[in-house]
Structure 1
Amino acid sequence: MLSALLWGAVAACSLVVGAIAGVVRPWKPRFVGWVLGFGAGALVASISFELAEEGFRIGGALPVAVGLAVGGLAFFLADFGVVRVGGRNGRAGLPLALGALLDGIPEQAVLGIGIAGGGVVSISLLVAIFVSNLPEAVGSASDLKANGRRGTHIIAGWAGVAVLCVAATVAGYQFQEVAGSQLRGGIDGFAAGALLVMLVTSMIPEATEKAGRQAGLAAVLGFAVAAGLSLSS
């Protein structure tokens, strides 16, 4: 239990670090676009090698497919709610935070399940979560700050997301006793589906708008780093 709590906190702390970095100083739009592009590439690698592939391996195609559909629909509906209450006035800030929450909870639950099942943490998954969290938080906090949100409120909001993600790691650890392989595969699919919709609707368009064609190069770099970490483990 203590191990799950510790590693969950390590993975989630990048959310708070990124939020602070996005609040304490203004960042040039091109830099934010590069960060978002890098994070998008890292997330694509995480979806490919840590979520979808692992889900297919342990649970089979059907649970992952169902999880993908449910995760994608969950983000779509939640993002629609953000739009209805005026969240788009903050550009991609709120959708990025929402994406971090919707993918972070199942993703870190998978981390906790892995710790409980094998007794060791997946370093590649841990680093992939950390690397992908950081640019999401920086980009979101920068957008929200630029649109008039108070820095303390932004940091507090991201701290809340981080606490929920840590709690999900502990819950996943406890859940290992009753979670069968198909359910674990569905959880992987849910995280992947939420991430894919967030990437296409919010993160990638924002990165391209801010960094132009250079966002694609940043995404390739992010993918290479995260994929290398995943495949080397």
Structure 2
Amino acid sequence: MKELILYSGFAGITVFIGGLLANYFNHHIKESPVKYEITHTMMSFGAGIILSALALVLIPKGLEKLELLPFTLSFLFGALLFLVIDQYLSKKGNQTATLLAMLMDFIPESIALGAVFAIEPKMATLLALFIGLQNLPEAFNSFRDLVQSGFAVKKTLVIFFCLSFFGIAGALIGHFLLSDYPNLTAHLMTFASGGILYLLIQDIIPESKLDKKYLTSLGAIIGFLVGVIGEKLI
């Protein structure tokens, strides 16, 4: 149990660390074209990691356990629900797509971490490392989005600190409640996949692009490669 809390705690604390790094970057690095390009590259890098989690972890686990019709319904429900949420937030002027994508990725993976911990501890250890690495750039981008949408810096850091504990909560839920219900866990992952894919295509990828700049595209490729390496190690 201590190891599960430790691993899931590491996976979650990178959310807060990413927020701290983004706050430092915002206030201690002078405005310049290079800073602007680095920011968009980080956004693109995060999109690549999210995409790798979608393609290598969430969807394959859903396909492994679910028949075609249940899988399709869960996937479409996730996409449609986050379409509605995104439309609502857009009308209010909030820039929270990256935060939503991070949570849609972070929570089901944390639950999966808890569910597999008792069966495959080594896989759970590497999965925790993988989750922690992808949370870092996602939190970096989410922090900047929230501050730009009007959230105060201190309030945003408090939110990120609280979100850091979602990893532990999710892992405990998966370990005690869902380890005997693989189909329910698969539905959760598939639902998250639909929402993540919608947010990537609608909001995150378009915002990461810069005209006549190619480093951002390379950032997405490197981010996806990080996910591939993590999945290969697992």
TM-score w.r.t. structure 1 length?
A: 0.86
Distance 1:43 1:210, change over 3 A: farther
Relative to structure 1, is the Cα distance of residues 53 and 201 closer, same or farther in structure 2, using a 3 angstrom cutoff?
Answer: same
Change in Cα spacing, 1:11 to 1:111, as seen in structure 2 (3 Å) is: same
SS in 1 for 2:40: helix
Q: Which amino acid aligns with 1:190?
A: F
SS in 2 for 1:65: helix
Instruction: Please say if 1:3 is aligned against 2:10.
Output: no
Question: How much does 1:178 deviate?
Answer: 4.0
Cα distance, 1:202 vs structure 2? 1.9
CA distance in 1, matches of 2:145, 2:212: 14
Alpha carbons 2:12, 2:166 under 8 Å: kept: no
Say if 2:117 and 2:175, in contact at 8 Å, map to a contact too: yes
Q: Is the 8 A contact 1:66 1:186 kept in 2?
A: no
Partners of 1:81 and 1:39 lie apart in 2 by: 24
Query: Residues 101-140 of structure 1 correspond to what in structure 2 (within 5 A)?
Result: 101-140=103-142
**More deviation, 146-155/34-43:** 146-155
Gaps of 5+ in 1: none
Could you say if the C-alpha distance between residues 2 and 59 of structure 1 is closer, same or farther in structure 2, counting changes exceeding 3 Å?
farther
Note closer, same or farther for the CA distance 1:24–1:43 as it changes in structure 2 (3 Å cut).
Answer: same
Relative to the length of structure 2, the TM-score reads: 0.85
Q: How does 1:15-164 map to 2 (within 5 A)?
A: 15-26=15-26, 28-87=35-94, 92=95, 94-146=96-148, 148-164=150-166
Deviation string 1:40-87 (CA, Å, 9 cap, x unpaired) is 111211111111112222334344323322222232222223223331
**Cα gap change, 1:182 to 1:143, in 2 (>3 Å):** closer
Moved more, 204-213 or 166-175: 204-213
Query: What's the RMSD between the two structures over aligned residues?
Result: 2.3
Identity of aligned residues (%): 24
Q: Which amino acid aligns with 1:61?
A: L
Unaligned stretches of 5+ residues in structure 2: 30-34
Whole-Å Cα distance in 2 between the matches of residues 147 and 59 of structure 1? 38
Task: Indicate if the aligned counterparts of 1:40 and 1:132 stay in contact, CA closer than 8 A.
Answer: no
Aligned equivalents of 1:210 and 1:185: distance in 2?
Answer: 39
> 1:9–1:166: 8 Å Cα contact kept in structure 2?
yes
Q: Which amino acid is the alignment partner of residue 4 of structure 2?
A: A
Measured in 1, the distance between the counterparts of 2:105 and 2:18 equals 17
Alpha-carbon displacement from aligned partner over 1:158-211 (angstroms, at most 9, x marks no partner) = 2222223431121111123541x3222212212222211121122211211489
1: CA distance, partners of 2:205 / 2:212 = 10
Question: Do the aligned partners of 1:34 and 1:211 also contact (CA within 8 Å) in 2?
Answer: no
- Amino acid across the alignment from 1:6: L
Residue 44 of structure 2 contacts residue 220 of structure 2 at CA under 8 Å; is this kept in 1? yes
